[in-house]
Chains A and B, each alone.
Chain A
Amino acid sequence: MPKAPSSRRSADDRWFRLGTGLFAFLIFLLVAAIGYELVKNSRLSIAKFGLSFWKTRVWDPVSGDFGALPFIWGTLYSSLLALLISTPIALGIAVFLSELAPRVLRTPLAFLTELLAAIPSIVYGLWGIFVLVPMVRTLQVHTPDWLKKVPLFTGPPIGVGMLSAGLVLAVMVIPFTSSVAREVLKAVPPTQREAAYALGATRWEAIQAAMRYGRTGILGAIILGLGRAIGETLAVTMVIGNNPQVSLSLYAPQYSMAAVIANEFTEAADNLYLNALIEIGLVLFIITLIINVLSRLLIWRVSREVKVKEPRRVPAVEAAA
């Protein structure tokens, strides 16, 4: 007996929900599979070194001794350095574009700053090697002698090193932090500023009131930038110097987690070596996952409306959406 049209329709609807849901579930599955695969493929190194992997400095593929301290140090140092440079600039841009700039200038200036996010990492790296590093080297050569005794500025002037990495990363992070911070500031109710002005506040004092209102969101924007900096690979690999050492000096060539994976992955001749590199990838995965979740939660607290997105790679699109 043929089924009634209505029951056929509801069967069709069930299949539709199941079918499309399956594809959506694939995304969920993908993230779980990444975690599983990384753990599975780093088990040799996890079993052999345990936690000491993160505390020792030897990196000797020949004798099979691996410690990732220099890499995690380099990643943290370069990312925090980048944050230190980029945060004031990014917040300045966000404030300028959301509160101060004349209306005609807002869209074109936002377009230009977000263009920084459209440049591929490899182009940053190329520019870093041939333009930025020579500039940094000149700076290093002209460092006054008394300053060279400070631990931050010791070492020969070779250009590549922590300072170059921090500078390239800072430029790369700026558009991410500034565009999210701008969205956060836009979500602050105008009454906050109006109330401040009504009490006789100057412009800066009114901006402070707005920033204080959105502070968790702004913190989220900064942390989002940190996540980007930690995961950045090629640009850092090309300018950081690729030398596994733990040094305070900005001039010293060092290394980062992503860089060691990029450089040595295809050369890893034995399984333990490969597993050690994948374990570094696993930790990178976990750290960026935590940072992303954290920044999203912080931004949500200010406003559900603010979407945590990277700045549009194609800034022109913003107008339509």
Chain B
Amino acid sequence: MTRDSRRRLLSRTVVGLCGLSVVVALIPLALIFFYVVKQGFSSLNWDFFTKLPKPVGEVGGGMANAIAGTLILIGIAAAVAIPVGLIAGIYLSEYPKSHLASAVRFTADALNGVPSIVIGIFAYGLAVMPVHRFSALAGGIALAFMMIPIIARTAEELLNLVPPSLREGALALGSTRSRAAFSVMVPAALPGIMTGILVALARISGETAPLLFTSFNNRFFSLRLDQPISSLTVQVYTYAISPYDDWHRQAWAGALVLVTLIFIFSALARIVTRRLERMHRA
């Protein structure tokens, strides 16, 4: 074999291997979806959404409390994180060159990489230790801490996409900076900011680690913020590591509901993005 044909063969081999690696990565993806859908669907029934968990040994029951709990936790997180993240994002885009902005940008990205279990320990020290009680509020706060950097950075990024002439026009008409930001810039970037929020929601709704010792778990239906509350993720975890077949069945059903929830957020984000694209084209 000549040197050239060897080089060409090597090149083709590597190109093939690169294509193969895509296939290799898609195999676990397909397997996970296959099992979650298959096992989840066969275990999902009306009781799952309407009933409370049954005591150990009894077959049946559902996760009504965990579904409500997850929605409450997400609600708390959103209520805390959206205003903080959005206003921080406004600062980052209005004063991009300030020292504070670069420091905040850096720490926001660092915060994004902090393991969620560490956020859980922090929220435990902040909201559980002083009152000696697990609570929905502590869990919601932990999730909010994970949402804030995502929202701040996407809000900044999307505010930067708004043509600066809009702000300049508002300022030229005698508006204050806050007026220009809140009444001109934010509405112009709103669809994008919504997308950022939905992405952050999709991310936190699957989190388990920060809830294990903040919101803990609750076998009963609870809507109280100062009490431990159940969540889909923690419930799936508890059931998955249990030795009971019926609980395993319910864990798969819970996983299916969880994945569906995340995909609803993603689909919404996609719809908003489409509208954004249409707007930009217009």
A binds B: yes
Q: Which of A16, A88, A171 has the most CB of B within 10 A?
A: A16
A24 touches B91 (CB 8 A): yes
| A309 vs B14: C-alpha distance when bound (angstroms) | 28
B118 touches A231 (CB 8 A): yes
Closest to B232 in A: A122
Min Cβ gap A321→B in Å is 7
| A15 vs B87: C-alpha distance when bound (angstroms) | 13
B114 within 8 A of A: yes
A31 touches B94 (CB 8 A): no
Min Cβ gap A111→B in Å is 11
Interface size class of B (residues with CB under 8 A): 35 or more
| A43 vs B134: C-alpha distance when bound (angstroms) | 23
Closest to A208 in B: B14
B35 within 8 A of A: yes
| A158 vs B18: C-alpha distance when bound (angstroms) | 33
| A285 vs B114: C-alpha distance when bound (angstroms) | 6
Interface mask (B134-171 → A, CB under 8 Å = 1, otherwise 0): 00000000000100110011000110000000000000
Residues of the B chain whose Cβ atoms lie less than 8 Å from the Cβ of A205 = 7, 11
Chain A, range 64-117, C-beta contacts under 8 Å to B: 88-93, 95-97, 100-101, 109, 112-113, 115-116
| A23 vs B240: C-alpha distance when bound (angstroms) | 40
B282 within 8 A of A: no
| A72 vs B73: C-alpha distance when bound (angstroms) | 32
| A116 vs B203: C-alpha distance when bound (angstroms) | 12
Residues of the B chain whose Cβ atoms lie less than 8 Å from the Cβ of A97 = 22
Closest to B126 in A: A37
B192 within 8 A of A: yes
A262 within 8 A of B: yes
Q: Which of these, A21, A38, A112, A309, contacts B122 with CB under 8 Å?
A: A38
B255 touches A123 (CB 8 A): yes
Closest to B27 in A: A171
A146 within 8 A of B: no
| A138 vs B234: C-alpha distance when bound (angstroms) | 29
| A256 vs B45: C-alpha distance when bound (angstroms) | 36
| A123 vs B181: C-alpha distance when bound (angstroms) | 41
A34 touches B118 (CB 8 A): yes
- Assess A118 versus B104: contact at CB under 8 Å? Given A125-B237, A266-B212, A292-B110: no
A320 touches B11 (CB 8 A): no
Q: Which of B11, B28, B98 has the most CB of A within 10 A?
A: B28
Residues of the A chain whose Cβ atoms lie less than 8 Å from the Cβ of B52 = none
A141 within 8 A of B: no
A174 within 8 A of B: yes
A240 within 8 A of B: no
A54-62, A213-221, A310-318: which lies at the interface: A310-318
Interface mask (B241-268 → A, CB under 8 Å = 1, otherwise 0): 1000000100110010011001001100
Q: Which of these, A88, A89, A174, A203, contacts B15 with CB under 8 Å?
A: A203
B1 within 8 A of A: no
B91 touches A23 (CB 8 A): yes
A17 touches B117 (CB 8 A): no
Min Cβ gap A115→B in Å is 6
Residues of the A chain whose Cβ atoms lie less than 8 Å from the Cβ of B20 = 92
A258 within 8 A of B: yes
Interface mask (A128-153 → B, CB under 8 Å = 1, otherwise 0): 01110000000000000000000000
B212 touches A262 (CB 8 A): yes
B209 touches A233 (CB 8 A): yes
A244 within 8 A of B: no
Closest to B206 in A: A120
B109 touches A130 (CB 8 A): no
B190 within 8 A of A: no
A49 within 8 A of B: no
B87 touches A238 (CB 8 A): no
| A139 vs B14: C-alpha distance when bound (angstroms) | 28
Q: Which of these, B17, B39, B177, B208, contacts A17 with CB under 8 Å?
A: B177
| A118 vs B258: C-alpha distance when bound (angstroms) | 11
B199 touches A319 (CB 8 A): no
A120 touches B233 (CB 8 A): yes
Chain A, range 216-249, C-beta contacts under 8 Å to B: 224, 227-228, 230-234, 238
A313 touches B266 (CB 8 A): yes
| A191 vs B169: C-alpha distance when bound (angstroms) | 41
Q: Which of these, A40, A116, A178, A291, contacts B29 with CB under 8 Å?
A: A116
A195 within 8 A of B: no
Min Cβ gap B251→A in Å is 6
| A189 vs B129: C-alpha distance when bound (angstroms) | 53
Q: Which of these, A19, A24, A122, contacts B152 with CB under 8 Å?
A: A24
| A23 vs B104: C-alpha distance when bound (angstroms) | 10
Q: Which of these, A129, A202, A261, contacts B8 with CB under 8 Å?
A: A202
Which residues of chain A have a CB within 8 Å of any CB of chain B?
Answer: 5, 9, 12-13, 15-17, 19-21, 23-28, 30-31, 33-34, 37-38, 40-41, 88-93, 95-97, 100-101, 109, 112-113, 115-116, 118-127, 129-131, 171, 174, 178, 202-205, 207, 224, 227-228, 230-234, 238, 258, 261-262, 265-266, 278, 281, 284-285, 288-289, 291-293, 296, 308-310, 312-314, 316-317, 319-321
Q: Which 4 A-B pairs have the closest CB atoms?
A: A120-B206, A231-B115, A92-B21, A202-B11
List 19 contacting pairs A-B, 8 Å CB cutoff, sorted by A. A12-B178, A17-B95, A25-B104, A28-B103, A28-B104, A41-B121, A96-B22, A101-B22, A116-B25, A122-B240, A207-B14, A233-B115, A265-B212, A289-B113, A292-B110, A296-B109, A313-B199, A313-B203, A319-B277
